[in-house]
């Protein structure tokens, strides 16, 4: 079988697509793998915050169209960019082994968050990150930051920001780990649902292709992704909602922690739950219900106005 991979053109997206291509080339059923780089609306509009132009779903629409029009067979995504409700006719056929899910700070003087001077400017396009940063350091300023990883680092180096926050996974994949000043633990900054996970999407009708892609699936990653995305689904969250969700699997147990934050960081609702790993979706729904009971819907509804 020949497989065409639809991917964004950013350096990180291409790294991920090439990584998947390498894994596919190792399978006996695969003859040839080619990349189909595409430009998405999310990549083109860089002067407006994502929540104002439609969220991170803008990064994947063109890739799905390419599959529908038979210009590509699969699409490779960062799972945190995929809406919790996958469009009809598509499925996530595989989730790869998770890289570190945590967030990382890069600062000009290699300072951690608590060491930054009062009034420092931190760049992040994520409301989730912005809220948690401001909760820790309400005396600093957070400004939107768009563009690919290298563009964001260039803006830091040019003096537009004193520090920026990015996903650890992306920095590691691009060989930029040495730039990291601080890696945030979940007690300081809960990551986005499925952050650090590469997902492979295809059309749900292609059973032969799905069977081949299933060989690349990592079960632990599948379980944590299911747990985290189920919380966001029941909260009716988008990829840009100020929500953090992190799940781990310990033997037969699944533990999920989630926060919902006001964008200014003044209020954070935090809850956790644990249960059997076979019940990830149920656990996620129960955790979402706890968050809503404690006022999460009020924060989310206010944020959507």
Nearest to 177 by CA among 102, 277, 67: 102
Indicate which residues carry an active-site annotation.
81
Beta strands in the chain (DSSP E): 2-8, 32-38, 74-78, 90-95, 103-107, 121-123, 141-143, 163-167, 182-183, 198-203, 243-250, 253-261, 268-276
The answer to whether the CB of 126 falls within 8 A of the CB of 191 is no
Distances 192 to 72, 81, 132, 149 between C-alpha atoms, Å: 28, 10, 12, 17
Q: Is 88 exposed, middle or buried (0-12, 13-18, 19+ CB in 10 A)?
A: exposed
Cα separation, 81 vs 207, whole angstroms: 24
Nearest to 202 by CA among 97, 93, 95: 93
Three-state DSSP state, 282:
helix
Cα angle 57, 44, 233; round to 5: 10
Cα separation, 57 vs 81, whole angstroms: 6
Q: Which two tokens stand for residue 14?
A: 């291409």
Q: Which two tokens stand for residue 251?
A: 């033997």
């Amino acid at each position: 079988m020949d497989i065409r991979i639809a991917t964004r053109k950013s350096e990180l997206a291409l790294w991920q697509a090439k990584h998947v291509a390498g894994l596919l080339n190792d399978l006996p059923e695969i003859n040839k793998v080619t990349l189909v780089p595409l430009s998405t609306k999310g990549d083109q509009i860089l002067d407006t915050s994502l929540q104002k132009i439609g969220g991170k779903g803008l990064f994947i629409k063109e890739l799905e169209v390419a599959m529908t029009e038979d210009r590509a067979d699969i699409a490779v995504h960062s799972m945190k960019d995929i809406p919790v409700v996958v469009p009809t006719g598509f499925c996530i056929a595989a989730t790869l082994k998770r890289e570190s899910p945590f967030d990382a700070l890069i600062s000009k003087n290699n300072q951690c968050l608590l060491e930054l001077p009062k009034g420092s400017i931190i760049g992040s396009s994520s409301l989730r990150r912005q809220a948690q940063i401001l909760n820790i350091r309400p005396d600093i300023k957070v400004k939107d930051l768009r563009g690919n990883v290298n563009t964001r680092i260039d803006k830091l180096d040019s003096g537009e920001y004193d520090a920026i926050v990015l996903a650890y996974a992306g920095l590691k994949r691009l060989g930029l780990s040495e730039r990291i000043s601080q890696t945030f633990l979940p007690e300081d900054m809960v990551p986005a649902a499925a952050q650090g996970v590469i997902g492979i999407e295809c059309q749900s009708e292609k059973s032969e292709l799905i069977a081949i892609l299933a060989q690349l699936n990592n079960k632990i990653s599948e379980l944590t992704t299911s747990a985290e995305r189920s919380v966001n689904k029941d909260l009716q969250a988008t990829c840009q909602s100020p929500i953090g969700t992190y799940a781990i699997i310990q033997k037969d147990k699944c533990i999920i922690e989630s926060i919902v934050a006001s964008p200014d960081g003044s209020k954070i609702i935090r809850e956790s739950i644990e249960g059997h790993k076979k019940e990830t979706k149920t656990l996620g729904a129960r955790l979402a219900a706890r968050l809503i009971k404690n006022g999460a819907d009020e924060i989310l509804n206010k944020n959507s106005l």
